[in-house]
Amino acid sequence: MSSRAWIARPFATESPITIAAARPGASVAPILPIMPVSAFFQRRFAPDRTPVGEPKPFGVSLTAPSFGLIQELPGAVGRWNPACVLEIFCSQYSDLIAQLQHVKVITVERIDVRRWRFKNGAWVSQAGIVGGMEHKKDGQFEVFIPRDVDCAEAAQTLYHEVVHVRQGPMGRYFEEFEAYAKTESWAIYLGLPQRGHDLREEKDGREVPSAAKIDEKVRSQYGGPEPSAPGARIVGHTAKEALVLQPGASTPVPRPAVEGDVDMSEKPTTVAPKVLPPSVWVCPKSPQPKKSTP
Ligand SMILES: [Zn+2]
């Protein structure tokens, strides 16, 4: 039932949003200043390139659901491809592209997951679909991303998963909170729309990530902070217990299950996986300013 490979995240690297800031109720101010919309648009689509995805009319309300309000650029196609992702990242985030060269990116038709949630005194199974995931296999990170999403969504999914790749083990709740908060902050900065959820709010006339909404989403999908110890995670369950793996431990220890516990240790199923060759992650030659990423 449990597989350690799916939970190990040995990278202990920098972390611009600290764990403390990721705690519920803390503010999640955008890390970066808002970039002028026109500047982003000019950078994103060079004159000789065909727009890919659903470029949004930046400046319109970005709260979900925003579909219906979207105007596609003439000639744009719906599915993402590496070229359009490079258009988004290379202008300012070439370090993220450099990181992708060391990650095995696998495109899929779908990622099916099974969650076990402890509700009303019993574990209940729920089937679901997730928009992306990463794990480490044989020492290499693998990132899975659906093929049938537009470029803005694909870029945010890759950004979210690279945040995970750079994280140290903090426990699933804090790992997800940080990944959602950073991705949302970055997407707001670039004027990208939300990807099928509403995790933003208005503050002082600006759109910012909402700590309360992110907390609610993460708790519902991944469970709350592990009560036994920060960094620990549920890797299985028995009828009335959660099996919890402490950081650095190799054997999980049972504790009584509590309402809201989520066990996601069952290995997800990926439909029609295809590995992208690392050679696709090469930015165009023209020198671009570089800024720090997650
Ligand atoms: Zn995540």
pLDDT tens for each residue of the chain, 294 residues long? 333 222 222 222 323 333 333 334 434 333 333 343 344 444 444 444 444 333 443 333 333 333 322 334 445 556 788 888 887 788 778 888 888 888 999 999 999 999 999 999 999 999 988 888 988 888 889 999 999 887 888 889 999 999 988 888 888 999 999 999 999 888 887 777 777 788 988 877 777 889 999 999 999 999 999 888 878 999 999 999 999 999 889 999 999 999 999 999 999 999 999 999 988 998 877 544 555 555
Q: Tell me the DSSP string of 213-243.
A: HHHHHHHHHH-S--SS-TT-EEEEE-SSEEE
- How close is the Cα of 121 to the center of ligand 1, in Å? 27
- How close is the Cα of 285 to the center of ligand 1, in Å? 31
- How close is the Cα of 46 to the center of ligand 1, in Å? 31
- How close is the Cα of 286 to the center of ligand 1, in Å? 32
Q: At what angle do helices 172-190 and 211-222 cross, to 10 degrees?
A: 140
- How close is the Cα of 179 to the center of ligand 1, in Å? 6
- How close is the Cα of 51 to the center of ligand 1, in Å? 28
- How close is the Cα of 176 to the center of ligand 1, in Å? 5
- What is the structure's pLDDT at 188? 82
Q: Which residues surround ligand 1, an ion (CB under 5 A)?
A: 176, 179
- How close is the Cα of 133 to the center of ligand 1, in Å? 6
Beta bridge partners of 190: none
- How close is the Cα of 126 to the center of ligand 1, in Å? 18
- What is the structure's pLDDT at 290? 52
- How close is the Cα of 196 to the center of ligand 1, in Å? 15
- What is the structure's pLDDT at 78? 62
140-146 vs 104-108, strand pairing mode? parallel
- How close is the Cα of 158 to the center of ligand 1, in Å? 10
- How close is the Cα of 270 to the center of ligand 1, in Å? 16
- What is the structure's pLDDT at 236? 96
- Torsion from C-alpha of 247, 252, 253, 257, nearest 10 degrees: 100
Q: At what angle do helices 151-166 and 172-190 cross, to 10 degrees?
A: 140
- How close is the Cα of 50 to the center of ligand 1, in Å? 30
Q: Kindly report the pTM of this predicted structure.
A: 0.72
- What is the structure's pLDDT at 114? 94
- How close is the Cα of 167 to the center of ligand 1, in Å? 11
Beta bridge partners of 133: 144
Say if CB 112 and CB 126 are below 8 A apart.
no
- Position of tokens 């903090």? 170
133-137 vs 274-275, strand pairing mode? unpaired
- What is the structure's pLDDT at 241? 97
